[in-house]
Each structure stands twice: as structure tokens, then as C-alpha cells.
Structure 1
Amino acid sequence: SEDVVVQSVRNLQIRYIAKKNSENQIVVVAIKLNVPSEYSLMKEDEYSYLSQRIKIMDRLYHFNHRIDGVLVEQSKSECMIFTTKKIIETETNQYKDFYLLDALREVSAVPVYIGIGYGKTANESKYNAYESMKKMERSRQNSVYIVFENGEVMGPLETGRGAKKQDSFDEKFYRAATETGLSVNTIYKIFGGIVKEEKADFTSRELAAICGVSVRTMDRIILKLCDAGYCEVISEKLMHKSGRPSRILRLHPLQIYNG
């Protein structure tokens, strides 16, 4: 009958509108930087921490632009990205490739926790995002958790390259100290100093000035760095009209900062 046809069309319209509303459902991505502890080497060097934060925020703003979201910085260590269900699921291929994790790994020595929340309202999505981030903090993995509006949890999600354990900033310095037989403070002074200088090639005299030691002491340190693969002699240069040429040394900070 005509009434049945009219009712069927109305039901179809309702289902279509519901589907469109679902696609435009607000999704919140919560990100938290694991601020170094009081006894961390990075905590003692504000420059290193701020440098890491700038690199991380650059990747976050790039991701935010890709998903046409709104990024809100809650504090120096926390921020949120507001987007829609359709956009983020399309951009990440239904979360099969959450490439933001890989992008952050490339630049960060600071652990970054990510949680995603769905909800019927923006507040509910925000709450679920923080709930999923708590799961991330407890697991301490380089992955992502999602909490949906019905309370269902998905995760941990792998990235396109596969998740792998990432050493913390301090662990990388301790590892380098073990491999070279040098103290952690010496390793930190050298590699922290070359990051501030924004170059990788030095003479032993320049490195001695950075570390506050004699050139003879630095020559012994350089020998240990070279043996462990953290340094190499790339050339020699005559610094004065007379005397022996100085070695030009290239250090490899990426072995520490990017693993």
C-alpha cells in the first residue's frame, strides 16, 4: 500500500542520516609526553628536553593538518586533537597504519603515549581518549589504544613498520657508556655538546673544550669512541703554519638519539 511505501522511504532516510551522523562523530586523540624523571639526564639539560618537544610537536601538527583536526595544547606535556571518525579512519586505513607512531619514533627519545576515544559527545570522546591513554601508560609500549563509546577497547595497535622496543633517552646513554668504557657523564657531555653546536665534525681540541678536559685526555676518549663505532677520523687539517695537522673527527649522535 501507499502507507507502507511512505514508511519504508522514511525508514531509509533515518538510516541514511544516522550513518552520516556516525561518520561525523567526534573522535579525540590524546597525546602525552612522558616528562623525564627528576634524576634523568635529560631533565638536567633543559635544552635537550625542549629540543625533543619541538620536534615532537612539529610531527603532531603535521598529523593534525593531514586529518583536518583541531590541536589543543593542554600543557607542556599533554595535548589533544579533535577530528571525525570518517577522517581519521580513512587516513589511517581503519587504524591498520597509524603512521604517527613511526613519525614520532624518528625524532623522539622521550616516550609518547597516545590514546584515542570515541563518544556520543565531545566530552565523552575526551574521557575515553584519556582512559585509553592510561592503558598505554600501563603497558609502556610504542603502540595505541582505542576506547569506543560502548566501552569496547581495541589495542595495542601496531604501526606499518611493526612496533619495537625503544630505549629511553637515559638507557641509550648508559648503553653507549657500557660499549665505550667511559662514564655516562662523559658520554652525555660529548653528545649533548655536539647537539647544541648543531654539527658533527670536530677537532679533538674542540671536543676537549666542550667537555672541559685536556686535549691529551680527550685523545684517549676519542680512541674509545672510535673503537665502539661512535666516532671516526674523516680527514686531517693543518690548523697552524707549523706543527702536526689536526684530525677532523665525525661523531654519530644518531646512534644515541634515534637508536
Structure 2
Amino acid sequence: MNINVVVIGPQDLINLVLKVGASYPEINLIPAPYTHEQETLEVVKKNTTKADVLLFAGNIPYQIVKSHPITDTPMAFIQLTGTALYRTLFKVLTETKLNPTQTSFRISMDTLKKTEVDECLEELELHTCKLFLNKDKKVDELVDFHYQMWINKEIDVAITCVTSVYEALKSLGVLVYRVIPTKSTVRSTLQNMIAERKSFLQKSTQIAVGVLRFNHLFTTSDVSEYALKRKKAGIQSLLIDFSEEAQAIFDWSNRDEVRFITTRGAIETITQTYKKLPLLNNLCMKVGIEPALGIGLGYTANEAETNAREALLKAQSLASPSCFVLDLDGTLYGPVGQEKQLQYSLRSDDPVRIHLAKTSNLSVATINKLLSFCENFGYKGITALDLAAGLGLTIRSARRILNTLERNKLAAITGEEQPIHRGRPRNLYELYLIDEKTTTTP
């Protein structure tokens, strides 16, 4: 299957990518040029539906789109490494009177990493008495950065990785050179994209099994037989719609349970990578039932169903209708559809997390769950009620965990919160797992 890659950048760099990409028949390159980086968002909006991958000719346009989430299309950019700087420095040596092999010279650069610049200069045995490096991502500030040093006679030459900065400085009379990707860098980027695409397609074909559980759906004595049949017909209709969209096969031979099988790719598409699940919402709103759903992923149907039933147990532990997804590596996602969801592994071989579990006398799965909770909700001002709601626990279990952490000096009471209604003040805790996670060794 060919990969549709929309290439975004200045025309000359797009031409370079098209030239190198001509030797890769599995990639269909679609040019999307701009004259200035500020046009990036509009270019992406016009071309995102054409792309399997968006490839940016540099880091700045990539960062612009990353900071404005306007597309779910996978993105990549061609990195400018020290090898790209070699050619630029060679041009400085051959096209100017500057000779840094003999005498030191003063230079300003942007975007590149200092370690790569230093390594490049050292290998070429070039001497600089002053090297000004700026990694700021704003174009106007980069222009000002170079120009101010030029007019103040602090530099002999400016080197930029940004096309619009290069054009602006050139118009201002600055001696400026531009760093552009080498063919080998472009080739490496395209090869990585092909490998990642193949990996993605293989991953998408993994088996996904879902187990949807209705608790005592058809045993209610005060509901007429006709009402039960209407409810069953409503559920059946929603399951057919879902199965058609997910390309799934479902089985409803068990009165209180539906099992369906499809692929990982279909599930990730329909859930927007575990962000929402319309099936649960429709069952609640249109039929008036509150089911629990577990989805498991695996290489075999048996492995996927085992994971699905483990995820189902987690979903059934919550009071409200919910769905969890259990991945092959033990990572649990959920509750699917909530604005803030946890993502954690049920196991870990990380020695720091194992040490935390031993220190706190809690399981590794609980430690992973707590760390995921803290990443979403923060480490300060946590009550037992917050923890119970976030982890799907009873208040009593949440209090037990907090007391255990406090007893082992991994948490401390830092204040109180008075409930809106009558009741005892709730303790506010600060968790110190982040310190242990980053600084403690077993």
C-alpha cells in the first residue's frame, strides 16, 4: 500500500524531497509549498485530507502545527543535524574572504543544537572567537537576533536554518547563509516513514475483542414482555450500527453479554484512539441501560478476549457505565470517553517503580495507576474523594491508599477542605511519588 505524504515547506526544499523521494515507489509525495512559515496552518488545513503523513521541511512549521491541534494526521519533520552544517561552512570558506582555519571568526546561528555545532567546528578544525546560538522558534525574533549583532558589528557572518529568516536578513544586507537538509538526511527520514508505516499497518491488524456486559437486563419483574422486546430490539439496532462502522462480528448468545471481534485499527478509528465511544452513550441515552465494556487487544482471539475480560472487570468496578481497553503490553486505557483518563500498565520491570511499590507496600499496578492519576490531576490538594473518583475506587479504599502513602512518607496532609454540605472537613494530601520516581534508586 502506497503512503500519501504531503510535503510542506519552501519550494526549493520540497523540490529536494521530491527528487530524493523519486527512488521510493511506495511513497506518493504531494507538494504543498508556502512562501513563509506563517502560512503553515492554512497549508495544512487545505491538504490534511490528502495525507497519510504530513512531512515538514523543518522544525518550525512542525512546531507551529503541533501547538495548534488542527489535525490528527501523523506528522514528521526533516531534522537538520550537524552534517547539514558541514556544507554551509564549506560555502562560507569558499565564497567569502573569511578563513576560520587560520584566524578566529565571529558567527551567529539558530535552531541547531549547541553540541552538534561544537562537534562540527571541532572536527573541521575551525576557530571561533565568538559563537552566538539561539534556539528560539519565533521567526521575527530570530531575524532580530542576527540583525542586531550584525549592525553592532559583533559577528562576521550569520547562519540560519529558516528560509524566511534567510530571505529577511539577505534583504537587510546581512552576510547570511542557510542550512538545508542533505540528501542523506532526507533519504533517512523517508526510510523511517516507510518502516513506521509498515509497523503501523501490522499493528492495526491486531485482533480486538470487546465484551459488553448488561447486568440483569431481562430479569426485571415489573417490566412488561413487550417493553423488554423493544429494549432488546433497540440494543440490537445499535449493535448492528456499531458493528457495521467497526467492521465487527458480534455474538449475543448470552442474554446478559455481547461479544464482538474486529481489528485494533478499526477500534482506534471509531474511538479516536480511546478518546470516545458512541456505543456506550447511545445505549444509555436511547435505550436507558448502563452497560460495562472491556476491550482487549492481542495477536490471537484468545489473547484478546483474555485482555477484554480483564478490562471488563475494571469497567464493572465503576458505578457509571464505562469502558476500558487493555493492550498487549499490559497498558490499560480508560475510562474511554472521559476528558481525563488514566493510562497505566498493570505490570512493570522499572526498578524505580518496583522500589516505590516495596516502599509503599502497594502493588506495582497501583503505583502505575497513582502516577497516571497524578499526571492528569496533579500531586497537590488531593482528597480521598478525588482519588476514589479518579481511580474508580470506594472512598474507603482511597483513604487506605492515602494512609499507606502517608505512613511511608510518600504523602503528607497539607490542609483541609470543607464540603459544601454538612460534614467533616476532608484532608488535603500532597503526594511525593514524583520525587521518588525521579531521584530514588533501589
Normalized against structure 2, the TM-score is what? 0.31
SS where residue 216 of structure 2 aligns?
A: coil
Structure 2: how far apart are the matches of 1:151 and 1:101?
23
Say whether 1:28 aligns with 2:212: no
1:11 offset after TM fit, Å?
A: 9.8
1:46 offset after TM fit, Å?
A: 3.0
Opposite residue 61 of structure 1, the aligned amino acid is: I
Opposite residue 122 of structure 1, the aligned amino acid is: A
1:15 offset after TM fit, Å?
A: 6.0
Q: Tell me the equivalent position of 1:85.
A: 264
Please list every run of 5 or more consecutive structure 1 residues that lacks an aligned counterpart in the other structure.
1-7, 161-259
Deviations 1:205-259 (A, max 9, x none): xxxxxxxxxxxxxxxxxxxxxxxxxxxxxxxxxxxxxxxxxxxxxxxxxxxxxxx
Contact 2:297 2:308 in 1 (8 A): yes
Say whether 1:122 aligns with 2:286: no
SS where residue 65 of structure 1 aligns?
A: helix
1:108 offset after TM fit, Å?
A: 2.2
Opposite residue 35 of structure 1, the aligned amino acid is: H
Say whether 1:113 aligns with 2:292: yes
| Correspondence 1:55-74 to 2 at 5 A | 55-74=234-253
1:116 offset after TM fit, Å?
A: 0.8
- Greater C-alpha radius of gyration: 2
Deviations 1:96-154 (A, max 9, x none): 22111221112223321211111121111111111111111121312211111122211
Summarize the Cα distance change of 1:26–1:67 in structure 2 as closer, same or farther, 3 Å threshold: same
Contact 1:145 1:154 in 2 (8 A): yes
Deviations 1:53-87 (A, max 9, x none): 21112101101101111112231221112111112
Contact 2:274 2:334 in 1 (8 A): no
1:52 offset after TM fit, Å?
A: 1.2
Q: Tell me the equivalent position of 2:335.
A: 156
| Correspondence 1:243-258 to 2 at 5 A | none
Say whether 1:97 aligns with 2:276: yes
Structure 1: how far apart are the matches of 2:277 and 2:218?
28
Q: Tell me the equivalent position of 1:247.
A: none
SS where residue 213 of structure 2 aligns?
A: strand
Opposite residue 83 of structure 1, the aligned amino acid is: T
Pick one of 321, 325, 336 that aligns with 1:142.
321
Query: Aligned pairs, how many?
Result: 152
Deviations 1:157-179 (A, max 9, x none): 2268xxxxxxxxxxxxxxxxxxx
SS where residue 74 of structure 1 aligns?
A: strand
SS where residue 317 of structure 2 aligns?
A: helix
Contact 1:33 1:112 in 2 (8 A): yes
Summarize the Cα distance change of 1:55–1:38 in structure 2 as closer, same or farther, 3 Å threshold: closer
SS where residue 146 of structure 1 aligns?
A: strand
Contact 1:35 1:110 in 2 (8 A): no
Pick one of 27, 31, 46 that aligns with 2:225.
46
Structure 2: how far apart are the matches of 1:103 and 1:37?
19
Once superposed, what is the RMSD of the aligned Cα atoms? 2.9
Please list every run of 5 or more consecutive structure 2 residues that lacks an aligned counterpart in the other structure.
1-187, 340-442
Deviates more, 1:64-73 or 1:108-117: 108-117
